[in-house]
Structure 1
Amino acid sequence: MTIMTIHLHRLIGFLLLLVGVGVEAQTSHSSPVASPSLATTMNSLLPVPMPDFHRIEEAVKEHLRAAHAEVISLQADPEITGVVLGEAYGRLGQSYHAHRLDASAEVCYRNAERLLPKDIRWPYLSGYLHQQRVELADAVGDYRRTLALHADHAQAQLRLAQVLLGLDRLDDAEALLKKVSGVPEFQGVAAFQLGKLMLRKGRHMEAVRLLTRAYEAHPDASAIHYPLAMAYRGQGNIQAARHHLKQRGEVEPTIPDPVVQALSALSSGKRTHQYHAIRAVWRRQFDLAAREYEAILALDPSDISAWVSLGRCRYLSDDPDGASQAFRIVLQQKPDHDKANYFLGRLLWEQGHKDAAVSHFLTTLKTDPGHGGAHFFLAESLMQKGEFQQAAHHFGKVYEKLPEDLISRQRESAALLAAGAAMHKKAWQRITEALVIHPDDAVLRRQLARLLTTSPDAQARDGKRGLTLAIGLFDEHNTIEHAELVAMAYAELGQFQQAIAYQQATLDTALQYYGPYGEPALLERLKTNLDTYSAEQPYRDRGN
């Protein structure tokens, strides 16, 4: 062996240490054994495409390029062994996979498998790569080859079952999951998959049993709640279904898998941390996402976007001080940054510092005049100050950008109603427009019923329609507020005996529920309105 060859072997060994962990950490099931017909195998190796590195930072890019070049050099060495070259291809594939350079990773895994046909790592990781890419048919073949080498490989059985479920091959998936269920370490994960399978088959009792077992094994796996809720609903247990629906999330039980977990150890650079952060946010693991953004900032403290994302994740993980610190760092560098101003404003608003919050919302709107969130909180601030017409204007800006937004339409209507009779016709128009989009919304219907029965503006008033709306609301939800609306409508139509009957019943209910000294403002209002109707006056004549 030449000095150059020895140097190359040592260099590739050093590079392999840089890009990953040792073979022993990858698998305990097999040892790398090269194919005896190395020359034939070498001729069948596929050329590895050079990845598109444009989104990867320079240090990582240069490292991967060097590792790629060394593998090519090794392949050209006439004295190379299949084991050394197979390991080199496999490790390079893992590095590409960890950085989501999938096309290059796939070819590396194929070459590694050809050179080391008895090593389960390479078909297994190829299957995992195809599963991530939702290339399910390819993943099936990869996992089948893995199981041909090691029939009891639990991770491959579990992941193959997941793929088969995605292909609607339920019976094949069930057989695999039942095998894995006997392995204590994997019982919870297998129960989760089996429970979902039983739900798809309509076997709700078994689904509840299995998903409950999965939840007991993985109480932090919020993704269990939705199928468990559906299974309870299938049994007719609506209360249990609602309980679990409220807790639904995206975090699935984790498969114990050192081979896959080792990929994380290979990843480095901002792009990889960004990928993991986005996945963590999607799974609502905001603490984990925050740590990924912290890793990005350790590499590049000037990354404004990462500071904003870190602040948002800290906010969502109930760390207001950490969130505030992140947003203030952004504003030190870019005082007019719209997102940092908005989120810092949100924090200050929730802490009761509303004037300071409004200042940040106004800055947000200078940079982004259509920012719905800033308009909404500015409108709420104006409502509290009694500036109702201005508040209505800003609520309108919210649904101007988000036409389906219900809350901003409700709040705009409330502001217009509070602005007085001069704005009631406009309120009627806005409520009517909103009901076209949200015809069943009780708040909008209640606002319209009150407007039609109590407005001092005769053009906005329509007692008959108001009564119809009020009775419909009362029939749906027998509440004090709806009973009051019915009484108001009857009084507007001059049917004072009916108004008195509803108002008296409402007062009696409130006294029974709250007692004579509870909710004094409510009781006083009910008594005052009863006196008004007893004097045969409509509600609007009270001057309200």
Structure 2
Amino acid sequence: RLDPNSAAAHFGAGRAALAKREYPAAVTHLEKALALEPQATATHYQLAMAYRGLGELPRAETQLAQKGTIEPRPIDPLMRAFDELLESAEAYNVRGGRELESGNWSAAAEDFRKGLALKPDDPSLRHRLGTALYQLGDAAGASEQFREVIRTSPEFAKAHFSLGVVLAAAGRHQEAIESFSNALTHDGLQLARVLARSGQPLKGLAEYQQVLERDPAMKEALFGYAMTLIRVQRYGAARDRLRDAVKSYPSDPVFSHGLARLLAAAPDARVRNGLQAKALVDELLKTERSIDVGATAAMALAELGEFEQAVAVQRDVIATAESGGLHGVVAHLIDNLKLYERRQPCRIPFTDDELP
């Protein structure tokens, strides 16, 4: 029987549901695990994968931005046996992590390799494999793993740092400096996000600016900066940043969706443009029919005065969210539905939880 007060138990149940592609159940358990043990940053990655499975890409991005390696600590011995019953990448990551902590480098490497066979693009597994290989004296193998993480997940700051350590030990100091600099850039991104979400958005903006000075093309920083401008109610500046990003990255839906939301529901009338918002949403709907995009479509319709259609779309969005078990988002969706039923547009483009 699952202990309802155990973050580790919910984390394990969430990973099991994720492995079976039971995404609504995975979200329920992982959100509970995060509420019970918010410092367990590894939960964010699992939650991101669950939201991605549901097609909730903005929420997946938000969770992915907060990912870490700290897992919930089990409060009962049954969790170890539970983990060992799972044949999944996540389970191998947990087992390998235990072997790393115990200094069993060969066993850890074997577990990480088994996990990567199931999920080749998992940055945590590959970085940990590199760490185990380095401890075994295989610097070349470790370097290869760290470089692959950087290639597939450049935002994974630990891989940049670890590669720097390997390069420095080999006397390749200039390359090591470059790797450490890259690690600082991506760590700065994490700091900016935390500042923005913890009631210090102006400091978050300053940190984002420093990251962008080091890497002007970093998409995560461009998006985070624009969203933080929304937090401080600089809607015009946020619109301009998002428009520039859409031009630079026309195939990335994150920027066009953010811009559509802002144009549809910004409190500043000088920023709103319902026709442009609807045009952006129509393009997004050709490739992505998620709850978030549907809610944005309803916002755009309401801004254009098409309230009957906005009500119909919003009701469909709410039904989808309820059937998917996403009860945490339904309340805000219902609030917007009530606005449309009263023939009033939305003036909150993003809730606080939706902003990175």
Task: With the length of structure 1 as denominator, give the TM-score of the two structures.
Answer: 0.33
- Whose radius of gyration is greater, 1 or 2? 1
Q: TM-score, normalised to structure 2's length?
A: 0.50
Compare relative contact order (CA 8 Å, sep 6+) and give the higher one, 1 or 2: 2
